[in-house]
Chains A and B, each alone.
Chain A
Amino acid sequence: MKKLVTLLLAATLGLAAAQTTLTYATWDATREKADRKLIAAFEAANPGIKVKYNLVPWDTYWQKASAMVAGGVTFDVMWMDLDNFPFYASQGALEPIPLDAAEKAKYPAQSLAPYLIGDGSQTYGLPLGPQAVCVFINRALFKERGVPIPTTGWTWDQMLSAAQKLTFSKGGKRYWGINGSDLQPDLEYGMSFYYTFGGKGIIQKTANGYTPNLEATFRQTAQRLYDLIYKYKVSPTANDTPQAAYQLFQAGQLGIYVEGTWMTGVWAETPGLDWAFAPFPTLKAGEPPRPLYSAHALVIPKASKQKSAALTFARWITTSPQAGKILAENGLLPTQPDPYEKLFLNALKGRNGEVIFQQLKTSEIRFSNLRTVSNLPEVLNALNADLNLAWTGNLPLDKAIDKANTDMGALLKESKELKY
């Protein structure tokens, strides 16, 4: 009799477990194949948990997320970025994630830090792999123009001279050296040069709050980047072509393209493209480059009905060796990339992927110390709009930076500390 009860109990439990279905939401369509493989592997390793994949377009992702949270019906595991995280966390929309010291050690401290709240004891997000700003080159163009392929220690001046040689016309087509038009120093691509040049952060904490910090390093970096377009003319402008830089790169009309590791999936669309990673250029003798990376995270909304299964899934994706292996085999960086370097390099064979692992050693996450500035998105938007006027050739750079200084200052005066 007792046996029967146990059996029945086990059966019900098993049944209950078999019914757990998680919903998982992301905006990144380029990872869909890898995501589906991850889910299949997870389900095989965790019988009883099913995961439903939801791809939500970036253009409506945050509207959907905020409606769902307000309505108390949310996905169980969802992608979160660092622009939105402080708001969600401070509004109590996220479930704290219990992590002991041993588990914490499985995450790169730098990636985890922005998702720790207060004194650092509370975790509200598990970081995914680094999405690193990086330099792509078109090797065919380099060879054709007799430009040496960049190696470690590549300097800004070498990059500029390469870009100059790579800017030319042939057969009715123009070719450009570098995508200077994307390198506004307020965006992470341009800002990577600012940090490499010794920048300490464009917003400063003072005794009475926050102030903009667009000092000499910022101005000089901005000038260098701006000169790529308007002085050296090695970058296409919107008047030259409406094509986005990634499109020109895919068309083989752009030699150097500064963007991020997430583009490798896009390059796969053009098999004929002879692309490779190149080291991020140095701007100061003897100092390594400090390009930025971002680490999105998996979060569990408070309204999730499957928190423990959600936690199992989020942990598995971010720390399990199986997940790391699947990601690396698909040319993506796992949360802790180093153990999977060989697999990653193998997946992107001959693309010089080693430089990514090198640069990650000296990379940073921007603004990770400013996540409590309540109106940070608006402050950054003001900076972006003002610099954009310069970048599109509608305002001299000095004036644009002065204007940004004023606009940011006014907004920062209104900002409050977010409380968690």
Chain B
Amino acid sequence: MNRRLSPIQGVLVAVLGLGGLLIVLPFLWMVFTAFKTPDDAYAWPPTLLPKVWIAGNFKKLFELIPFGQMFWNSLWTSAVIASFNILLGAPAAYAFARLRFPGKSLWFNSHLLSMVVPWQITLIPTFLLVRWFGWVDSFAALIVPSLTSGYAVFMLYQFFRSLPRSLEESVLMDGGSWGTALRYIALPLSSGAVAAVWMLSFLGNWSSFVWPSIVLNSPEKMVLPVGLLALQNHFAINVPVLMAGSALAVLPTIVAYLFVQRYLTDAALSSGMKG
């Protein structure tokens, strides 16, 4: 079993590794900049490694913004929103992909329409709505309008459509309901897709700053991207401190990724289950 040594595998790994450099270099730059003094970080031509390693940027970051609180706010709201996107989106996507019911095209196209109208112009109308509900400066304003997402529904819809129908058909023939078919056949079969969509939704919310900045006021409710944006004033950014914050902000997303990664792997889908 020396498959790992086969030349094709070698080439694969080499190509991926080279492309990976393009990813790693900027990333390392970020991490190393977080340990530089400003004058070191701004010198031109630049050096990759800090002249002197300092931890002061992290200290400063924690002085300037309530980093821990913001980090936590971002983490749980993103996780909750992503989970609701699946909870609401998966059944809807499944119905759109498989079932016949009244108004189907209308409901489906409403989801799609929410993707094509630029957010810049729905911002104020949505704010007025949230204000009408009395949610300004509350997490409800952040979470409720995002409970579902046209993107999540569309992605899951595409995945469900490409699933083989035979297994669901057998469930229905055995007297099972559509709910059973979704719960015990379609969802387990597309766990990879569900994990992917959850991850993308989590990331989208993890990095969003415009809407949170508009509906939230209290510093104790603020989310991390807004905090990081506030580090720069109109004229100048403290780049090392920003990089320190950005580097720390990457951590939970990697943890989340490693967590869902097992669903993303092919192991979740034994080919025997395919029809």
A–B contact at 8 Å CB threshold (below): yes
Cβ < 8 Å to B, chain A residues 160-189: 172-174
Q: In the complex, what distance in Å separates the CA atom of A299 from the CA atom of B193?
A: 51
Residues of B within 8 A of A59 (CB): 209, 229
Query: Do B233 and A60 touch across chains, with their CB atoms under 8 A apart?
Result: no
CB contact between A250 and one of B39, B123, B217 (< 8 Å): that residue: B39
Query: Do B229 and A57 touch across chains, with their CB atoms under 8 A apart?
Result: yes
Query: Do B213 and A250 touch across chains, with their CB atoms under 8 A apart?
Result: no
Chain B: interface residue total (CB-CB under 8 A): 34
B64 within 8 A of A: yes
> Closest A-chain residue to B60, C-beta based?
A269
CB contact between B43 and one of A29, A71, A173 (< 8 Å): that residue: A173
Q: In the complex, what distance in Å separates the CA atom of A23 from the CA atom of B216?
A: 13
Interface residues of B, dominant DSSP: helix
Residues of B within 8 A of A243 (CB): 42, 44
Query: Do B131 and A71 touch across chains, with their CB atoms under 8 A apart?
Result: yes
Residues of B within 8 A of A64 (CB): 213-214
Query: Do B128 and A29 touch across chains, with their CB atoms under 8 A apart?
Result: no
A270 within 8 A of B: yes
Cβ < 8 Å to A, chain B residues 229-269: 229-236, 238-239
Q: In the complex, what distance in Å separates the CA atom of A343 from the CA atom of B63?
A: 26
Cβ < 8 Å to A, chain B residues 210-230: 210, 213-214, 217-219, 226, 229-230
Q: In the complex, what distance in Å separates the CA atom of A266 from the CA atom of B232?
A: 10
Q: In the complex, what distance in Å separates the CA atom of A159 from the CA atom of B234?
A: 27
Contact digits for B109-144, partner A, Cβ 8 Å, 1 yes 0 no? 000000000000001100110010000100000000
* B42, B231, B234: most-surrounded residue (chain A CB, <10 A): B42
- A57-B226, A71-B136, A270-B38 are known contacts. Are A30 and B45 too (CB-CB below 8 A)? no
B201 within 8 A of A: no
A8 within 8 A of B: no
Cβ < 8 Å to B, chain A residues 20-58: 23, 27-30, 32, 52-58
Query: Do B233 and A28 touch across chains, with their CB atoms under 8 A apart?
Result: yes
Query: Do A28 and B234 touch across chains, with their CB atoms under 8 A apart?
Result: yes
Q: In the complex, what distance in Å separates the CA atom of A27 from the CA atom of B213?
A: 12
Shortest distance from the beta carbon of A179 to any chain B beta carbon, whole Å: 12
Q: In the complex, what distance in Å separates the CA atom of A66 from the CA atom of B231?
A: 22
The residues of A with any CB-CB pair to B shorter than 8 Å are 23, 27-30, 32, 52-60, 63-64, 66-68, 70-73, 75, 172-174, 241, 243-244, 246-248, 250-253, 259-260, 262-263, 266, 269-270, 272-273
Closest 9 CB pairs of A and B: A247-B42, A57-B229, A251-B42, A60-B213, A71-B131, A67-B127, A241-B44, A251-B43, A57-B230
